[in-house]
Structure 1
Amino acid sequence: MSDKATQFRSDMSDIIRHIYKLPVIFMTKVLKNNKTISENYALLGKLINEHLDLFPDKKKTLEICHTGKFLMFFDNLTILEVTEKPDFILFDGNNQIGLEHQIIVESKSKEREGFFENIFSLAEIELKEDRELPNFLASCYIEPYANFKLNEKEYLIETVKKVVKEYVLNNNFIENPLIESLFIQPHTQKNIHANMGAWWQKNITLEAIENAIKKKNAKISTYKEKGINTQWLLLVIGSSGDSSFEMDKNLKLEMETEFDKVFVLEDLRNVLYELK
Structure 2
Amino acid sequence: MKNNKSISEDYSLLDELISPFVSELMTNKEKNQQKILEICHVGKFLLFFKKQIQIDSLSEKPDFILNFNDEKIGLEHQIVIDSKLKEKEGFYENIFQKVETEIKLDENLPNFLMNCFIKPNLEYKLNQKKEIELIIKKVILEYLINNTFIENPIISKLIKMQHSKKNINVNFGAWIQKTITKEVILNAISKKESKIENYIKNGLQKQWLLLVIGSNGKSSFEMNNNINIEIESKFERIYILEDFDNILHQIK
**What is the TM-score normalised by the length of structure 1?**
0.85
The offset of 1:131, in angstroms, is 5.2
Deviation at 1:132, TM superposition (A): 5.2
For the structure 1 residues 51 and 146, does the alpha-carbon distance in structure 2 shift closer, same or farther, using more than 3 Å as the test? same
54, 63, 71: which one pairs with 2:38?
Answer: 63
State whether structure 2 residue 137 is matched by structure 1 residue 161: yes
> 2:6 — aligned with what?
36
User: What code does the residue aligned with 1:51 have?
Assistant: F
What runs of 5+ residues in structure 2 fail to find an aligned partner? 27-31
Mapped to 1, the partners of 2:236 and 2:45 lie a distance apart of 16
**Is 1:86–1:99's contact at 8 Å kept on the other side of the alignment?**
yes
Q: Percent identity?
A: 52
Decide which structure has the larger Cα Rg and report it. 1
What letter is aligned with 1:62?
L
- Partners of 2:64 and 2:36 lie apart in 1 by 12
Cα deviation, residue 45, structure 1: 1.0
The aligned residue for residue 237 of structure 1 is 213
What is the identity, as a one-letter code, of the residue corresponding to 1:49?
A: S
1:123, 1:160 within 8 Å by CA — same for their partners in 2? yes
Deviation at 1:266, TM superposition (A): 0.3
Distance 1:175 1:250, change over 3 A: same
1:88 aligns with 2:64: yes
Paired residues for 1:176-191 under 5 Å: 176-191=152-167
Q: Corresponding residue for 1:247?
A: 223
Query: Structure 1: how far apart are the matches of 2:79 and 2:164?
Result: 32
- CA distance in 2 between counterparts of 1:194 and 1:242 reads 13
Asked whether the 8 Å contact 1:79–1:90 carries over to 2, the reply is yes
Partner of 2:246: 270
Quick one: distance in 2 between partners of 1:93 and 1:144?
Answer: 50
Q: Distance in 2 between matches of 1:146 and 1:248?
A: 29
Residue 114 (structure 1) aligns with: 90
Contact kept? 1:252, 1:275, Cα under 8 Å: no
1:47 aligns with 2:17: yes
> What is the alpha-carbon distance in structure 2 between the residues aligned to residue 34 and residue 132 of structure 1?
46
**Matched residues in 2 for 1:257 and 1:131: separation?**
54
**Superposed CA RMSD:** 1.4
Task: State the shift of 1:153 in Å.
Answer: 1.1
The letter for the 1-side match of 2:142 is E
- Among 114, 117, 141, which residue is 1:141 paired with? 117
Note if 1:261 corresponds to 2:237.
Answer: yes
Which has the higher relative contact order, 1 or 2, with Cα contacts under 8 A spaced 6 or more apart?
Answer: 1
What is the aligned length? 246
Which amino acid in the other structure matches residue 11 of structure 2? Y
Distance of 1:43 and 1:133 partners within structure 2: 38
| Code of the aligned partner of 2:22 | L
Amino acid paired to 2:195: K
Unaligned runs of at least 5 residues, structure 1: 1-30
Q: Distance in 1 between matches of 2:222 and 2:40?
A: 19
Deviation at 1:191, TM superposition (A): 2.0
Which of 77, 97, 101 is equivalent to 2:77? 101
Amino acid in the other structure paired with 1:260:
E
